[in-house]
Amino acid sequence: MKMRSVLLGTVFAAAGALGSASAAEVAVTCDTVGQAHDLCVKAVQEWEAKTGHTAKIVSVPQSATERLALYQQILGSGSNDIDVFQIDVIWPGILGSHLLDLKPYSKGVENEHFKPIIENNTYKGKLVAMPFYTDAGLMFYRKDLLEKYGKSVPTTWEELTATAKDVQAKERAAGNDKMWGFVYQAKAYEGLTCDAIEWIDSFGGGDIVNAEGDITVNNPKAAEALTLAASWVGDIAPEGVLNYMEEDARGVFQSGNSVFMRNWPYAWSLGQGADSPIKGKIGVTAVPKGGADGKASGALGGWQMAVSKYSKDPEAAASLALWLTSKEQQKNNAIEGSYNPTITALYDDKDVLAANPFMGDLKATFTNAVARPSRATGANYNKVSNAFYNAVHNVISGKSEADASLAKLEKDLKRIKRKAW
Ligand code: GLC
């Protein structure tokens, strides 16, 4: 009798341990830019150990444009192949209808995150994604080279252009024939939309489509910005920049071959890494203004964790999304990978600020970042961005004059908009 009850007890305990939810297997996308993949793998393993569930990691393309195409293919067919998606700040309006409301799982933790990001991630009243990290375009520069040639940190694009040209020439004359002045993202993809909205907005040329949904991009300030950007290619930037994404720019800068680099915060921890040739030589500042009356405009970026509506195990998937975006993970990602947290309190965390002084120093860059028009254009945003980066690419690759390209872009955007976005 006694024996039997012990046995029964064991059976019940085992069933309880596996939980109301028995061990699940979910699939999660992991980013492949910089250190993101390694950090993701580690976090997923921790979650597996904590919960007894397992997760299959799906590596996704570096290009946000390609990543979206992949996600649209999977979600558009209602497939349950992937449960947890890392999604861009500009995608809730595009993918929202395929994503699960995380509110029933979040226990109010969203209140610890920046409110505008939570609003951004709210689609038709549902919290379709938890913020993972936020991003803003930054200007990285070689402190040592500016000092060597007695240059100050440029605050306008015109100054940056002149300094880049001068230092590039002097370094080449001193024997570094691989030296360039400035590298950035100018391939025809989402990254160029980010770089170019910075150029245009910093000149006072607006943000392509304003908050009311009006198409504003065809204006003389935008043309001025693009004309200046076109002058860089082949002069202070290699021709190859027309095919650069984030990691291409970082490769050139981090190997010591560029004076300036426009990139996202993640580039800081890598540039400061033990094996980096430019460790200790990097400065970080705001993206320059367009002329003395312009403003410094870093593009707003960032990533979230979302759960597919088609997931067979929404509870396990939501638990993973919440773990990946938790304070513990965000603190680790900030210290190890210089990813900007979305949890307000982490900006008062000594360890986070010690690892990333720019997160405290450049607060204005993060709070005043220029958003791409994804809210105003909703599900059409990808078409808008596509038309925009192609129009910009035509100008900077010398195929078209800025005025003509912007006039054509305006027509294309009107066609995409029709009566309303
Ligand atoms: C960064 C940003 C993201 C943006 C992408 C473009 O990953 O966080 O918002 O779309 O760069 O390349």
Q: Give dist(CA 256, CA 233) in Å, integer.
A: 19
- State the distance from the centre of ligand 1 to the C-alpha of 361, rounded, in angstroms: 22
- Per-residue pLDDT reduced to its tens digit, 227-251: 999 999 999 999 999 999 999 999 9
CATH of the domain at 53: 3.40.190.10
Q: Please indicate whether residue 266, judged by its CB atom, sits closer than 6 Å to ligand 1.
A: no
The residues near 411 (Cβ < 8 Å, ≥ 6 apart) are: none
Cβ atoms 330, 311 nearer than 8 A: no
Q: What is the 3-state secondary structure (H, E, C) of 16-58?
A: HHHCCCCCCEEEEEECCCCCHHHHHHHHHHHHHHHHCCEEEEE
Report CA-CA distances (Å) from 315 to 26, 111, 404: 10, 20, 52
Termini Cα distance of the chain: 73
- State the distance from the centre of ligand 1 to the C-alpha of 191, rounded, in angstroms: 6
Tell me the whole-structure pTM to 2 decimals: 0.94
The protein residue with its alpha carbon nearest to ligand 1, atom 5, reads 191
Of 133, 215, 271, 266, the closest CA to residue 413 belongs to 215
- Per-residue pLDDT reduced to its tens digit, 317-376: 999 999 999 999 999 999 999 999 999 999 999 999 999 999 999 999 999 999 999 999
Q: Which atom of ligand 1 is nearest to the CA of 134?
A: 8
Q: Please indicate whether residue 267, judged by its CB atom, sits closer than 6 Å to ligand 1.
A: no
Do 176 and 244 share a domain, yes or no? Answer: yes
Q: Please indicate whether residue 87, judged by its CB atom, sits closer than 6 Å to ligand 1.
A: no
Quick one: pLDDT band at residue 408, thresholds 50, 70, 90? Answer: very high
Do 164 and 211 share a domain, yes or no? Answer: yes
- Per-residue pLDDT reduced to its tens digit, 80-135: 999 999 999 999 999 999 999 999 999 999 999 999 999 999 999 999 999 999 99
- State the distance from the centre of ligand 1 to the C-alpha of 302, rounded, in angstroms: 6
Last residue of a domain, one of 363, 384, 403: 363
Cβ atoms 284, 295 nearer than 8 A: no
The reported pLDDT for the residue numbered 22 is 85
Q: Please indicate whether residue 313, judged by its CB atom, sits closer than 6 Å to ligand 1.
A: no
Last residue of a domain, one of 318, 343, 363: 363
Evaluate whether residue 133 is within a structural domain.
no
Average pLDDT of the chain to the nearest whole number: 95
Q: How many domains would you assign to the chain?
A: 2
Last residue of a domain, one of 336, 363, 390: 363
Do 13 and 31 share a domain, yes or no? Answer: yes
Q: Which domain holds residue 87?
A: 2-128+301-363
Do 355 and 380 share a domain, yes or no? Answer: no
- Per-residue pLDDT reduced to its tens digit, 29-40: 999 999 999 999
Do 294 and 305 share a domain, yes or no? Answer: no
